[in-house]
Amino acid sequence: MTRWTAADIPDQTGRTALITGANSGLGRRSAQALAERGARVLIACRDAEKGRAALAEIARTATTAPELVELDLTDLASIHRAADAVRDRTDGLDVLMNNAGVMATPRRSTSDGFELQIGTNHLGHAALTWLLLPALRPGARVVTVSSLAHRFGGLDVDDLNFTRRRYQPLRAYSQSKLANLLFALELDRAAKRAGRDLISVAAHPGMAMTELTGNSSRLRAMPDAVHDVVGLGTRLVTQPAERGALPQLYAATARGVRGGDYFGPGGIGELRGHPSRARLSKAARDAGTAARLWAVTAEHTGVAPSWS
Protein backbone atom coordinates (compact mmCIF):
# COMPACT_ATOMS: atom_id res chain seq x y z
CA MET A 1 0.00 0.00 0.00
CA THR A 2 1.15 3.56 -0.66
CA ARG A 3 1.63 6.41 1.83
CA TRP A 4 -2.02 6.37 2.84
CA THR A 5 -3.35 9.34 4.84
CA ALA A 6 -6.71 10.58 6.10
CA ALA A 7 -7.09 12.42 2.80
CA ASP A 8 -7.47 9.01 1.15
CA ILE A 9 -10.54 8.05 3.17
CA PRO A 10 -13.37 7.42 0.68
CA ASP A 11 -16.57 9.42 0.91
CA GLN A 12 -18.47 8.21 4.00
CA THR A 13 -21.80 9.86 3.25
CA GLY A 14 -24.67 7.60 4.32
CA ARG A 15 -22.46 5.50 6.58
CA THR A 16 -22.76 5.30 10.37
CA ALA A 17 -19.84 4.62 12.70
CA LEU A 18 -19.72 3.97 16.44
CA ILE A 19 -16.34 4.63 18.07
CA THR A 20 -15.62 3.81 21.69
CA GLY A 21 -13.40 6.17 23.62
CA ALA A 22 -13.91 8.84 20.99
CA ASN A 23 -13.68 11.76 23.39
CA SER A 24 -9.87 11.73 23.29
CA GLY A 25 -6.74 10.41 21.59
CA LEU A 26 -6.98 7.98 18.71
CA GLY A 27 -10.74 7.70 19.04
CA ARG A 28 -11.31 11.42 18.71
CA ARG A 29 -8.96 11.67 15.74
CA SER A 30 -10.77 8.77 14.08
CA ALA A 31 -14.16 10.34 14.76
CA GLN A 32 -13.00 13.67 13.37
CA ALA A 33 -11.64 12.10 10.19
CA LEU A 34 -14.79 10.06 9.50
CA ALA A 35 -17.12 12.96 10.29
CA GLU A 36 -15.19 15.23 7.92
CA ARG A 37 -15.75 12.67 5.16
CA GLY A 38 -19.52 12.62 5.70
CA ALA A 39 -20.09 9.78 8.17
CA ARG A 40 -22.63 9.93 10.94
CA VAL A 41 -20.38 9.32 13.94
CA LEU A 42 -21.59 8.12 17.33
CA ILE A 43 -19.10 8.96 20.06
CA ALA A 44 -19.29 6.38 22.83
CA CYS A 45 -17.65 7.41 26.08
CA ARG A 46 -18.09 7.18 29.83
CA ASP A 47 -17.71 10.84 30.78
CA ALA A 48 -20.64 12.77 29.30
CA GLU A 49 -19.02 16.15 29.94
CA LYS A 50 -15.85 15.18 28.08
CA GLY A 51 -18.02 13.63 25.39
CA ARG A 52 -19.91 16.87 24.84
CA ALA A 53 -16.63 18.80 24.63
CA ALA A 54 -15.42 16.35 21.97
CA LEU A 55 -18.70 16.71 20.09
CA ALA A 56 -18.26 20.48 19.94
CA GLU A 57 -14.71 20.15 18.62
CA ILE A 58 -15.58 17.52 16.02
CA ALA A 59 -18.70 19.37 14.88
CA ARG A 60 -16.63 22.35 13.77
CA THR A 61 -15.33 20.46 10.73
CA ALA A 62 -17.91 17.67 10.41
CA THR A 63 -20.32 17.51 7.50
CA THR A 64 -22.76 15.57 9.68
CA ALA A 65 -23.16 16.43 13.37
CA PRO A 66 -21.68 13.78 15.66
CA GLU A 67 -23.76 12.28 18.46
CA LEU A 68 -23.04 11.11 21.99
CA VAL A 69 -23.68 7.62 23.36
CA GLU A 70 -22.96 7.15 27.05
CA LEU A 71 -20.98 3.95 27.53
CA ASP A 72 -19.00 2.64 30.48
CA LEU A 73 -17.09 -0.44 29.35
CA THR A 74 -16.44 -1.39 32.98
CA ASP A 75 -20.16 -1.90 33.61
CA LEU A 76 -22.15 -4.58 31.75
CA ALA A 77 -25.43 -2.81 32.53
CA SER A 78 -24.11 0.33 30.83
CA ILE A 79 -22.99 -1.74 27.83
CA HIS A 80 -26.49 -3.17 27.45
CA ARG A 81 -28.03 0.32 27.69
CA ALA A 82 -25.62 1.69 25.09
CA ALA A 83 -26.32 -1.17 22.68
CA ASP A 84 -30.07 -0.61 23.09
CA ALA A 85 -29.59 3.12 22.44
CA VAL A 86 -27.60 2.48 19.26
CA ARG A 87 -30.21 0.07 17.94
CA ASP A 88 -33.01 2.53 18.75
CA ARG A 89 -31.30 5.58 17.25
CA THR A 90 -29.94 4.10 14.03
CA ASP A 91 -31.05 1.82 11.24
CA GLY A 92 -27.70 0.06 11.33
CA LEU A 93 -23.96 0.47 11.70
CA ASP A 94 -21.31 0.33 8.99
CA VAL A 95 -18.33 0.64 11.33
CA LEU A 96 -17.85 -0.42 14.93
CA MET A 97 -14.46 0.75 16.14
CA ASN A 98 -13.46 -0.85 19.45
CA ASN A 99 -10.92 1.79 20.37
CA ALA A 100 -11.24 2.66 24.08
CA GLY A 101 -8.78 1.27 26.54
CA VAL A 102 -6.79 1.60 29.76
CA MET A 103 -3.10 0.89 30.16
CA ALA A 104 -0.90 -0.40 32.98
CA THR A 105 -3.28 0.55 35.77
CA PRO A 106 -2.88 -0.44 39.42
CA ARG A 107 -4.91 -3.47 40.35
CA ARG A 108 -8.57 -2.51 40.24
CA SER A 109 -11.85 -4.19 39.43
CA THR A 110 -14.76 -3.28 37.19
CA SER A 111 -18.34 -2.97 38.45
CA ASP A 112 -18.79 -6.65 37.62
CA GLY A 113 -15.65 -7.82 39.38
CA PHE A 114 -13.32 -8.23 36.39
CA GLU A 115 -9.70 -7.10 36.49
CA LEU A 116 -9.89 -3.57 35.09
CA GLN A 117 -7.70 -3.95 31.99
CA ILE A 118 -9.12 -7.23 30.70
CA GLY A 119 -12.58 -6.01 31.68
CA THR A 120 -12.33 -2.72 29.80
CA ASN A 121 -10.11 -3.59 26.86
CA HIS A 122 -11.50 -7.03 26.02
CA LEU A 123 -14.60 -8.19 27.92
CA GLY A 124 -16.48 -4.90 27.61
CA HIS A 125 -15.76 -4.59 23.90
CA ALA A 126 -16.62 -8.23 23.24
CA ALA A 127 -19.99 -7.85 24.96
CA LEU A 128 -20.71 -4.64 23.07
CA THR A 129 -19.77 -6.21 19.74
CA TRP A 130 -21.95 -9.26 20.31
CA LEU A 131 -24.92 -7.13 21.39
CA LEU A 132 -24.57 -5.01 18.26
CA LEU A 133 -24.16 -7.85 15.77
CA PRO A 134 -27.82 -7.63 14.66
CA ALA A 135 -27.33 -3.90 13.99
CA LEU A 136 -24.32 -4.34 11.70
CA ARG A 137 -25.23 -3.82 8.06
CA PRO A 138 -24.00 -6.17 5.32
CA GLY A 139 -20.35 -5.44 4.69
CA ALA A 140 -19.92 -3.68 8.04
CA ARG A 141 -16.46 -3.57 9.56
CA VAL A 142 -15.58 -4.25 13.18
CA VAL A 143 -12.18 -2.72 13.92
CA THR A 144 -10.55 -3.80 17.16
CA VAL A 145 -7.58 -1.75 18.33
CA SER A 146 -4.71 -3.81 19.72
CA SER A 147 -1.11 -2.90 20.49
CA LEU A 148 2.50 -3.87 19.93
CA ALA A 149 2.30 -4.94 23.57
CA HIS A 150 0.31 -8.02 22.54
CA ARG A 151 3.70 -9.64 21.80
CA PHE A 152 5.12 -9.17 25.28
CA GLY A 153 3.22 -11.71 27.33
CA GLY A 154 0.87 -14.63 27.13
CA LEU A 155 -2.76 -15.07 28.02
CA ASP A 156 -4.12 -17.42 30.67
CA VAL A 157 -7.68 -18.06 29.54
CA ASP A 158 -8.44 -19.77 32.84
CA ASP A 159 -7.18 -16.83 34.92
CA LEU A 160 -8.12 -13.70 33.01
CA ASN A 161 -8.65 -11.78 36.25
CA PHE A 162 -5.33 -12.66 37.92
CA THR A 163 -6.95 -14.48 40.80
CA ARG A 164 -4.16 -17.08 40.89
CA ARG A 165 -1.25 -15.14 39.40
CA ARG A 166 0.59 -12.17 40.86
CA TYR A 167 -0.82 -9.04 39.28
CA GLN A 168 1.60 -7.04 37.12
CA PRO A 169 0.17 -3.94 35.39
CA LEU A 170 2.11 -4.28 32.13
CA ARG A 171 1.57 -8.03 31.95
CA ALA A 172 -2.15 -7.49 32.41
CA TYR A 173 -2.13 -4.84 29.68
CA SER A 174 -0.28 -7.15 27.29
CA GLN A 175 -2.78 -9.92 28.03
CA SER A 176 -5.72 -7.64 27.26
CA LYS A 177 -4.21 -6.55 23.94
CA LEU A 178 -3.52 -10.14 22.94
CA ALA A 179 -7.14 -10.90 23.84
CA ASN A 180 -8.22 -8.08 21.50
CA LEU A 181 -6.42 -9.72 18.59
CA LEU A 182 -7.63 -13.23 19.38
CA PHE A 183 -11.18 -11.91 19.57
CA ALA A 184 -10.94 -10.00 16.28
CA LEU A 185 -9.65 -13.06 14.42
CA GLU A 186 -12.19 -15.40 16.01
CA LEU A 187 -14.99 -12.98 15.14
CA ASP A 188 -13.86 -13.18 11.52
CA ARG A 189 -13.90 -16.97 11.62
CA ALA A 190 -17.30 -17.07 13.38
CA ALA A 191 -18.82 -14.66 10.84
CA LYS A 192 -17.63 -16.83 7.97
CA ARG A 193 -19.05 -19.95 9.62
CA ALA A 194 -22.38 -18.16 10.06
CA GLY A 195 -22.38 -16.93 6.45
CA ARG A 196 -22.46 -13.35 7.69
CA ASP A 197 -21.21 -10.51 5.48
CA LEU A 198 -18.98 -8.95 8.11
CA ILE A 199 -15.36 -7.83 8.06
CA SER A 200 -13.55 -8.17 11.39
CA VAL A 201 -10.10 -6.60 11.38
CA ALA A 202 -7.58 -5.24 13.87
CA ALA A 203 -5.12 -2.38 14.00
CA HIS A 204 -2.52 -0.86 16.27
CA PRO A 205 -1.12 2.69 16.42
CA GLY A 206 2.55 1.87 16.95
CA MET A 207 3.93 4.38 19.43
CA ALA A 208 1.47 7.25 19.40
CA MET A 209 1.39 10.17 21.81
CA THR A 210 -2.04 9.99 23.38
CA GLU A 211 -3.57 10.38 26.82
CA LEU A 212 -3.14 6.61 27.22
CA THR A 213 0.65 6.67 26.92
CA GLY A 214 1.11 10.05 28.55
CA ASN A 215 -0.90 9.10 31.62
CA SER A 216 0.17 5.51 32.25
CA SER A 217 0.48 4.66 35.93
CA ARG A 218 4.22 3.90 35.65
CA LEU A 219 4.99 7.33 34.16
CA ARG A 220 2.80 9.17 36.68
CA ALA A 221 4.55 7.44 39.59
CA MET A 222 8.02 8.70 38.61
CA PRO A 223 9.70 11.66 40.35
CA ASP A 224 9.08 14.94 38.54
CA ALA A 225 12.58 15.23 37.06
CA VAL A 226 12.58 11.64 35.79
CA HIS A 227 9.00 12.08 34.60
CA ASP A 228 10.06 15.06 32.48
CA VAL A 229 13.00 13.21 30.91
CA VAL A 230 10.98 10.08 30.17
CA GLY A 231 8.15 12.21 28.83
CA LEU A 232 10.55 13.98 26.45
CA GLY A 233 11.95 10.64 25.29
CA THR A 234 8.44 9.36 24.72
CA ARG A 235 7.61 12.36 22.56
CA LEU A 236 10.77 11.82 20.48
CA VAL A 237 9.96 8.21 19.57
CA THR A 238 6.20 8.50 19.25
CA GLN A 239 4.10 9.92 16.46
CA PRO A 240 1.17 12.33 16.87
CA ALA A 241 -2.27 10.89 17.54
CA GLU A 242 -3.36 11.94 14.04
CA ARG A 243 -0.76 9.58 12.57
CA GLY A 244 -1.37 6.90 15.16
CA ALA A 245 -5.04 6.77 14.18
CA LEU A 246 -4.30 6.05 10.52
CA PRO A 247 -4.06 2.22 10.78
CA GLN A 248 -7.50 1.95 12.38
CA LEU A 249 -8.95 4.41 9.87
CA TYR A 250 -7.40 2.38 7.05
CA ALA A 251 -8.92 -0.78 8.51
CA ALA A 252 -12.32 0.93 8.74
CA THR A 253 -12.48 2.49 5.29
CA ALA A 254 -9.82 1.46 2.77
CA ARG A 255 -10.69 -0.65 -0.23
CA GLY A 256 -9.35 -4.18 -0.36
CA VAL A 257 -9.42 -4.80 3.40
CA ARG A 258 -10.31 -8.40 4.20
CA GLY A 259 -11.51 -10.12 7.34
CA GLY A 260 -8.65 -11.16 9.58
CA ASP A 261 -6.31 -8.39 8.40
CA TYR A 262 -4.12 -6.55 10.91
CA PHE A 263 -2.65 -3.11 10.26
CA GLY A 264 -0.09 -0.89 11.95
CA PRO A 265 2.55 1.70 11.06
CA GLY A 266 4.90 0.60 8.30
CA GLY A 267 8.11 2.04 9.70
CA ILE A 268 10.92 0.30 11.57
CA GLY A 269 9.55 -1.90 14.31
CA GLU A 270 6.01 -0.80 13.43
CA LEU A 271 6.57 2.15 15.77
CA ARG A 272 5.56 4.92 13.37
CA GLY A 273 4.77 5.56 9.74
CA HIS A 274 1.95 5.13 7.27
CA PRO A 275 -0.46 2.18 7.52
CA SER A 276 0.83 -1.22 6.46
CA ARG A 277 0.14 -4.84 7.26
CA ALA A 278 1.30 -5.65 10.78
CA ARG A 279 2.89 -8.75 12.23
CA LEU A 280 0.81 -11.08 14.38
CA SER A 281 2.56 -12.97 17.13
CA LYS A 282 2.37 -16.76 17.20
CA ALA A 283 0.08 -16.52 20.24
CA ALA A 284 -2.33 -14.23 18.36
CA ARG A 285 -2.61 -16.79 15.55
CA ASP A 286 -3.59 -19.63 17.91
CA ALA A 287 -7.13 -20.51 16.83
CA GLY A 288 -7.54 -22.97 19.70
CA THR A 289 -6.83 -20.31 22.31
CA ALA A 290 -9.12 -17.90 20.47
CA ALA A 291 -12.00 -20.39 20.58
CA ARG A 292 -11.47 -20.98 24.30
CA LEU A 293 -11.33 -17.24 24.96
CA TRP A 294 -14.57 -16.79 22.98
CA ALA A 295 -16.33 -19.34 25.20
CA VAL A 296 -14.90 -17.99 28.48
CA THR A 297 -15.80 -14.44 27.46
CA ALA A 298 -19.41 -15.51 26.95
CA GLU A 299 -19.42 -17.13 30.39
CA HIS A 300 -17.93 -14.07 32.08
CA THR A 301 -20.17 -11.49 30.42
CA GLY A 302 -23.39 -13.49 30.12
CA VAL A 303 -23.58 -12.32 26.50
CA ALA A 304 -23.46 -14.61 23.49
CA PRO A 305 -23.22 -13.63 19.82
CA SER A 306 -26.50 -13.48 17.94
CA TRP A 307 -26.25 -13.57 14.16
CA SER A 308 -29.93 -12.81 13.49
Stated length of the chain: 308
Which candidate, 60, 57, 83, 53, places its Cα nearest to that of 70? 83
**Catalytic residue of the set 167, 173, 250, 262:** 173
Instruction: Report helix, strand or coil for 240.
Output: strand
CA distance 44 to 20: 5
User: What's CA 184's distance to the chain center, in Å?
Assistant: 10
- Under 8 Å CB-to-CB from 88, ≥6 apart: which residues? none
Does the annotation mark 173 as catalytic?
yes
Q: Which helix (H) or strand (E) holds 143?
A: strand 136-145
DSSP state of 9: P
CA distance 192 to 63: 34
- Answer left, alpha or beta for residue 67, where phi above 0 means left and psi between -120 and 50 means alpha: beta
Query: Residue 9, Cβ neighbours under 10 Å: how many?
Result: 20
As to burial, measured by CB atoms within 10 angstroms (0-12 exposed, 13-18 middle, 19+ buried), residue 60 is: exposed
Instruction: Just list the catalytic residues.
Output: 173
